[in-house]
Amino acid sequence: MNVFKDAGHLFRLAAVFVAGLLIFLVIRGFLVPKSFGQLGHYRANAVAEIAARPIKFAGHESCEGCHADVLDKKKNGKHAGVNCEACHGPQAQHADDPTAVKPDKLDTAVLCARCHEANAAKPRNFPQVDTAEHSRGLPCDTCHHPHSPVIVAGGAK
Amino acid sequence: MPGVDGFMYPNEIELQWSVLIVLYPFLTGLVAGAFILASLERVFQVEAVKPTYRLALLTALSFLLVAPLPLQLHLGHPERSYEMYLTPHRTSAMAMFGFVYLWYLMAVLVLEIWLDYRRQIVLLSQSSTGWKRAIYSVMTLGSTNISERALAIDEKAGWLITVIGIPSAFLLHGYVGFIFGSIKANPWWSTPLMPVVFIFSAMVSGIALVMLLYMLITWARRQVIDMKCVDTVARYLFYIFVIDFSLEMLDLIHRIYEADESFRSLDFMVHSKLYLSHIVVQIALGTIAPIALLGLTQVAKLSDIARKRIYAAAGCLTLMGIFAMRWNVVIGGQLFSKSFLGYTTYKMGLVAREGLLMAILLTILPFAILWVLVKVLPPWPEASSGSIPDAEPAR
């Protein structure tokens, strides 16, 4: 009996730990999403939740409807295979309501380098330049037309 | 590209693990080392180191509290980190860290400190006034039983916890080594020796730190340094350092002899980019020099004052060397290309989330915490506590 009395503080300590554990379990009950673990170590609802989010990219076809001029230019150039939104960014909102939402102006010095900066790890036949040396600080679109980048005699085409 | 020699893959050019990830194993190492020094007294009955016992425990606690902060700062979404407790991922070593950490903090350190200080806490809760009294009263958990039998029970429980604590301290730091050692894609890290080397270097750094702190605090309190204690601590430091050094050399010799496909690249790195931090700082200044200094005190008969100075110098060199070792592991492991054809450079930010100032702040923080802890729970014998009200510990 005496042992229990003299170890009383240890029981109190144990009680604190148990209380801590219980509080943790209660909090956990609230915080862990309900669908967690149904299919694996993740929220089973994750796909549905993501699908429910607003769409950000409109897709190439949707731009074509209104920007036929750009398309005409682009489809014969070297950037034919590059999606509009790969450069202009997600524009679903703009495509829905072009007057209210306008795409941001692009800074070609940053944009073009993202794909064309010379790097030994890129496939050898991909066109790449050492941008600093190649453009000498000028924006790329002073010489190249972004939608049809190859420069031919007689000006940008 | 500036800072890149030879060929690097694009995702290797910038280092992902910064100086904070260097700091993290350094801090946990100090925790594990300080705790193991404390357990020397408790479990292995090394009476001489008793004056450092409580200080070592408090040091371990204050560094342990700071240890996860570098990781939090490194995370892109620190506010989500608690989720690893809610939905534990049992197959990921990194995700299990939270539990290793919590176990060590709550089940080992806090418990052991509480049991050891209980008598004093109860006495203080009765003698102090105001908010201090309130704090101490909460810490007693409402039990003021400090009868002889109760204290005997505490003693037994404390012993048990230390016995559990030693493997836990090994686990805590072995785990950090394991994280690196198990990355099989990186030849600089991938070796099963890594956890062992980490544990021994942890002991070395922790013991050196407590030794320095003890000498510094005693000096600041204008008390006499217990030379028998420091001598014993230094002797253990010496032994463990020799083991640590042999292990590291074993690793090195193994690599040289094995000379696998990564060897030439790593060898070149050690002789170029890592020369200063690895050969000069880590091995020459941070390992051989302190071992030689400590060895000298073992063979030669030196005066007290000479020994004190040597211990102080050796302690500082040791801490620097172990920090360099963490640096060379973490940063060195990211400087070379997996193609073994090139090297990059680590550019440390100054005022950045993972920059130099942050690293300095995180190094000072544990000392501030220790300062508070020492105020609340004076680690020196009860008789002398209070008589020096404004002792100025650590920095």
Segment B32-52 mean pLDDT: 90
* Residue A152 bridge partners (DSSP): A155
pTM score of the predicted model: 0.78
How far is the C-alpha of B319 from the C-alpha of B332, rounded, in Å? 19
The pLDDT averaged over each successive group of 10 residues in chain A (157 residues) is: 79 94 96 91 91 92 92 91 94 92 91 90 90 90 92 57
Q: Which has the closest alpha carbon to B217: B360, B66, B378?
A: B378
Under the banding of pLDDT at 50, 70 and 90, the label for residue B43 is confident
pLDDT at residue B230 tops 70: yes
How far is the C-alpha of A79 from the C-alpha of A150, rounded, in Å? 9
Q: Chain B partners of A36 at a C-beta cutoff of 8 Å?
A: 87
Choose the closest CB to A6 out of B85, B142, B147: B147
Segment B179-204 mean pLDDT: 93
pLDDT of amino acid A120: 77
How far is the C-alpha of A76 from the C-alpha of B211, rounded, in Å? 76
Kindly provide the ipTM of the predicted complex, given to two decimals: 0.81
Q: Chain B partners of A17 at a C-beta cutoff of 8 Å?
A: 106
By three-state DSSP, how is residue B187 classified? coil
Do A6 and B153 count as a contact with CB atoms less than 8 A apart?
Answer: yes
pLDDT at residue B389 tops 60: no
Distances (CA, A) of A25 to A18, A31, A32, B91, B103: 10, 10, 10, 22, 17
How many contacts, defined by CB atoms under 8 Å, are there between A and B? 44
pLDDT of amino acid B382: 59
Delineate the domains of chain B, giving CATH numbers in brackets. Answer: 18-231+348-379 (1.20.1630)
By three-state DSSP, how is residue B6 classified? strand
Segment B368-389 mean pLDDT: 75
Segment B109-121 mean pLDDT: 93
Domain ranges of chain A: 8-52, 55-103, 105-157
Segment B72-86 mean pLDDT: 91
pLDDT of amino acid A153: 58
How far is the C-alpha of B207 from the C-alpha of B204, rounded, in Å? 5
Do A9 and B145 count as a contact with CB atoms less than 8 A apart?
Answer: yes
